[in-house]
Amino acid sequence: MLKIFGFILALMIALPAYAIDGTSLLKEVDRNLNPESYESYRKLINIEPDGRKKEYTLFTVKKGADKIASLFLAPASEKGRSTLRLGDNMWLYIPNVGKPIRITSLQSVVGGVFNNADILQLDYAAEYDVEKVEETGGEYLLYLKAKTKTVAYDRLKLWADKGKKLPTKIECLTEANMLIKTLYFKEVKDFSSGIVRPSVIETDSPLYKGYKSVMIFAGIKERKFKDEVFTLTFIPSLESLR
């Protein structure tokens, strides 16, 4: 009798750990990072081993789970370049070339450690399934598996703050669990209208020894857009949304 009671008690203690709904948690992390539809201003900085830097300023608009577009505002050599992502489809528009060309998620339009999939990041829950969730101290550790072969990283390990439900670190892995890069989420900031999230994302990679890339957010706000904004035909006109 005592054994049965002990077993039930053990189950009751263990239950909360198994009761975490990984998918809901991941969706919550997504919503805490960004509203479902928003505009943002951010700067990407590529830092070389000797401290030399190259900076890019981007205006970004996103709608729903799978539509995102970015316009380069600086430097002058990149000004007017735009990128569009619709699910697995990505395009780059260069004003001089005058027409959009398809790009792939593993390339990088800025030539740093961030690739196109990092720069045009969709909701994590749109691209990944949660395989399991572990609790480690004050953090959740979510093991994510890509829903399709077309997703840039096959696996992610996402550490999220238990209280804020915001990511603190993400390891991007291949199918064979080889580390491609690590993203560090830092400096949580109040962007007003209820958006409180990390304002700095740093990344490094064993493939890019000594290099570091940083993404800094200066503004994020909820904004609704029409679907027509996220089309190849509209991409040269992104500036009109500012």
Partner 1 sequence: MIKQSGVRSQGSGVRKIIIFLAVFCFLVIGSFLLSPAHAGEYTFDISETEKKPYQIGGYAEFRPVLSGLDKDASLHKLKFYNRDEGSVIEEYNAKLQLEGSLEKGVAKLFIKTNTDYKKSYLGEDQKTTVYEGFLSIKPSSSLTIDIGKKTLRWGKGYAWSPVAFIDRPKDPDDPELSLEGFIVASADYIKTFQGPLKTLSFTPVLIPVYEHVNNNFGDVNNLNFAGKLYFLFYDMDIDFIILTGGSKTTRYGADFSRNLTTNFEIHGELAFIADYKKRFIDSNGNSLENVYDAKSYLIGIRYLTEEEATYILDFDILYFTPSITAIANVNDKSFSISPELLYTGITNLELRLKASFLSGERQSEYGEKQNDYRAELRARYYF
Rounded Cα distance, 134 and 194, in Å: 28
- Closest CB 24 distance from partner 1, rounded Å: 25
Please count the other Cβ atoms lying within 10 Å of the Cβ belonging to residue 170. 23
Q: Which of 6, 190, 207, 222 binds partner 1 (CB under 8 A)?
A: 207
Q: Which of 8, 106, 175, 192 binds partner 1 (CB under 8 A)?
A: 106
3-state helix, strand and coil shares in percent for the chain, rounded to the nearest 5: 20, 45, 35
Rounded Cα distance, 212 and 214, in Å: 7
Residue type for 211, please? Y
User: Interface with partner 1 includes 177 (CB under 8 A)?
Assistant: no
When the beta carbons of 143 and 225 are compared against partner 1, the nearer one is 225
Q: Which of 14, 111, 129, 179 binds partner 1 (CB under 8 A)?
A: 111
User: Interface with partner 1 includes 132 (CB under 8 A)?
Assistant: no
Q: Which of 33, 42, 69, 159 binds partner 1 (CB under 8 A)?
A: 42
- Closest CB 223 distance from partner 1, rounded Å: 13
- Closest CB 231 distance from partner 1, rounded Å: 5
Residues 6+ apart with CB under 8 A from 56: 43, 44, 45, 72, 74, 75, 78, 110
- 227 neighbors 63 (Cβ within 8 angstroms): yes
Is there a cis peptide before residue 75, judged by omega within 30 degrees of 0? yes
Please report, as ranges, the residues that interact with partner 1 according to CB under 8 A.
41-43, 45-46, 48-55, 57, 59, 73-77, 79, 86-90, 94, 96-99, 101-107, 111-112, 149-152, 207-211, 214, 216-219, 225-234, 237, 239-240, 242
